[in-house]
Amino acid sequence: MKPAQKYTKPVSDLPEESFTLPSYMYTDPQVFEAEKEKIFYKTWQYIGHTSFFEKPGDYISEIICDQNIFVILGEDKKLRAFYNVCQHRAHELLPAGVGNVERGIVCPYHAWTYEKSGNLKGAPRADKRSNFSKKDYKLKSVRMEVFLDAVFVNLDPNATPLSELVPDLEIDVRKRVSFFDQLGVSKSRSDYNGLGGTIINAGWKVVVDNYVECYHCEHAHPDFSDMLCMDSYKHDIFGLWARQLCEEVRENNSAYKIEKDAPFKKSIFWFLWPNTTINILPGSEIINFSSIRPYSLEKSTFNGHSLSVSGKFNEERRLYTSNVLFKEDISLCESVQRGLKSFGYDQGPIIADSNLSGRGEHVLHLFHRLIQQTMKN
């Protein structure tokens, strides 16, 4: 294993003077274990848009590092989040993804059955055990919040609400996306368009690093840069979130054609610490919520849901993002993950001008500073 050199160069306050995190932060198993405890078990994690929860029993199951949780709509039309584990012998209750349990949550192992409220409804032969009380075996709840019409969970029961941490993010999204409130419940399942669960052979921080800067775009994403006018590309920071915005696009470009009467002719990418993204590309009224999730030390996934006002999706745009843009980014991230193990590299300079233009790495700097500060605590 490559020896840890620690911080030989400073990750300092000013991005134009700072260096990146040292490479051991991306390759050391102990760092990854600490990140679980200090970051992923204490931050808000995106689960799914509220439109997926249409009738009682609708649920989404998701894994946050090694913690399996689910969110379910109860008979009383209330959303609740629970750890996805039976209170008898720890078998997982619900399969991963989106589904519905009409009558109740039944453990596949010994058929313990739970109500949608999390209460234990029945346990075969448990009446043979003296003093057995179903009240003692409720599912363990998880902190949950609806923010931007999406469900987020936090494994820290004392976490500050998202609505208090980043109220300006919701204001900004609703201000810039006129169709946001039209992504309604009535579209529901037809709007589900998951990104496929592709495992990227790069750690989660490498993938976030790539997402939060467009210094690489003109060179590494030629079609993307042909569609968006990079001279007008802006990248702004707002504490725990950042926004990439381009309001000048080319209708005829090498990525995909944008119709003259297209309802949305901008590109906006929001990043919410530590791993949530909200994305809109030019063209149709479609928005994507995604999470960059750790799969292991050097593997991650970039999964989410796309929602459409019309219930339809632009196939040409989908093919571009899936077959071109996403593959370009995967190749970049996987190469970086391999390079981080090289004895010939430790830290690099962050490239950011004093104007903090969209071609710089000042949001990468923000992300690295948040990592540095969180891991010290």
Write down the pLDDT at residue 357. Answer: 81
Q: How do 234-238 and 67-73 pair as beta strands? A: unpaired
pTM above 0.85, yes or no: yes
Q: Is the pLDDT of residue 123 over 50?
A: yes
Across 154-168, 191-205, 346-360, least confident range: 191-205
Highest mean pLDDT range out of 19-23, 51-55, 317-321? Answer: 19-23
Instruction: Write the DSSP assignment of 318-352 as a string of letters.
Output: HHHIIIIIHHHHHHHHHHHHHHTT-TT-S--B---
Is the distance from CB of 114 to CB of 75 less than 8 angstroms?
Answer: no
Residue 281, classed as helix, strand or coil, is coil
pLDDT at 370 over 80: yes
pLDDT tens digits for range 293-313: 999 999 999 888 888 888 888
pLDDT single digits (tens) 184-225: 544 444 444 445 568 999 999 999 999 999 999 999 999 999
pLDDT band of 95, cuts 50, 70, 90:
very high
What are the residues whose beta carbons fall under 8 Å from the beta carbon of 323, sequence distance 6 or more? none
Count of beta carbons in the 10 Å neighbourhood of residue 40: 20
More confident site: 140 or 12: 140
The Cα 309–Cα 32 span in angstroms is 39
Contact 294, 203 (CB under 8 A): yes
Are 306 and 334 in contact by the 8 Å Cβ rule? The answer is no
- Predicted pLDDT of residue 2: 67
Taken in order of first residue, the domains within the chain and their CATH numbers are 15-43+167-376 (3.90.380.10), 45-154 (2.102.10.10)
Q: Would the pLDDT of 264 be above 90?
A: yes
- Rg of the chain on CA atoms, in Å: 22
The pLDDT of residue 58 is 96
Helix (H, G, I), strand (E, B) or coil at 376: helix
Lowest mean pLDDT among 4-18, 202-216, 245-259, 294-308: 4-18
Instruction: Give 314's pLDDT tier (boundaries 50, 70, 90).
Output: confident
Q: How far apart are CA 203 and CA 88, in angstroms?
A: 34
- How is residue 374 written in tokens? 């969180």
